[in-house]
Amino acid sequence: MHINIFSSESALAEAAAERIIAQVRENAEAVIGLATGASPVAVYHAWGKGAATLGLDQSRVRGFALDEYLGLDPEDSRSYHAVIRRDAVAGAGLNAELVLIPQGSGDPEAPAAYERAIREAGGVDVQVLGIGRNGHLGFNEPGSPAQSRTRVVQLAASTMADNARYFDRAEDVPTAAITQGLGTIFEARELIVIAVGEAKADAVAAAIEGETTEDLPASLLQSHPNVHWFIDQAAAAKLSESVALVAAV
């Protein structure tokens, strides 16, 4: 694992964006895995800005989102369809037609169709990931099997509590989602994991320095051959001194 700790979020975002841009420069049809949530927003903007500065043609870049709530209309501003359009597609300057998002309609064919689409695209070159306070990746909550594929899942209580900030009423917070599985995510050739803020410090330390266990899905990243962590100082606060010293950028 490559661990990078940054003193500012803008430096973090630029460094993470640089890795994505390098892939797009190498392959105009690169396949990028897109995460929702607050963590990657600055990265998407730095990516879009960097690509524009270079005059990079991104019209053929393909994208796959990690997850979607079950039961929200794709036009609902809180749906991940809307979040991906706003933060990733508009932020990074992507072609919306080439960015796929799992269907949260409950269609029983949707998980297998999504897996097939990723496979037919040749797999994911770079996957952007956030990490939940409980160590989840996508909506793979603690206890998710390491080999899991795209499927419908129930959300953990801590995830629903974190997501409640986007909903006016507690009863509107979705309780289920469709998510790429851990097995799906770990097939990406490169993983970029972004963790910002002190709420993530325990999960980051356990994921990087703790035992690998399905009880903390992010700890399973230790087994992936090409993981790059981008962490701010607050999220890095609980790493041991020896790791933090080496990782400081």
The Cα 22–Cα 173 span in angstroms is 37
Does residue 136 carry a catalytic annotation? yes
Catalytic: 67?
yes
Please pick, from the candidates 132, 135, 174, 217, the single residue that binds ligand PGA as defined by CB under 6 A.
132
Is residue 2 part of the annotated active site? The answer reads: no
Q: Give the C-alpha separation, 235 to 197, whole Å.
A: 5
The answer to whether the Cα torsion of 35, 187, 135, 111 is positive or negative is positive
From candidates 22, 38, 52, 249, binder to ligand PGA by CB under 6 A: 38
Asked if 130 is part of the footprint of ligand PGA (rule: CB under 6 A), the reply reads: yes
For ligand PGA, the binding residue among 131, 178, 203, 208 (CB under 6 A) is 131
Give me the least distance between CB of 172 and ligand PGA, in Å please.
18
Residue 18 a catalytic site member? no
Cβ-proximal residues to 14 (8 Å cutoff; 6+ apart), any chain: 46, 50
- Active-site hit among 14, 68, 81, 136: 136
Looking at 22-30, 113-121, 124-132, 180-188, which segment touches ligand PGA (CB under 6 A)? 124-132
Q: Output the smallest distance, CB 169 to ligand PGA, in A.
A: 20
Distance separating alpha carbons of residues 32 and 54, to the nearest angstrom: 19
DSSP code of residue 156: P
Q: Least distance from C-beta 29 to ligand PGA, angstroms?
A: 27
- 231 makes contact with ligand PGA (CB under 6 A): no
Identify which of residues 158 and 222 has a Cβ nearer to ligand PGA in the complex.
158
Closest to ligand PGA by CB, 58 vs 70, is: 70
Q: Which is nearer to ligand PGA, 58 or 134 (CB)?
A: 134
Task: Confirm if 70 and 106 have CB atoms less than 8 A apart.
Answer: yes
Rg (CA), the chain: 17
Distance CA 87, CA 171 (A): 26
Q: Which of 21, 33, 39, 144 binds ligand PGA (CB under 6 A)?
A: 39
Task: List strands edge to edge, sheet with 99-100.
Answer: 2-6, 227-232, 190-195, 126-129, 31-34, 62-65, 99-100
For the chain, the helix, strand and coil percentages under 3-state DSSP, each to the nearest 5: 40, 20, 40
| 33 is a contact residue toward ligand PGA (CB under 6 A) | no
- Site residues for ligand PGA per CB under 6 A: 37-39, 130-132, 136
The residues that are catalytic are 67, 134, 136, 141
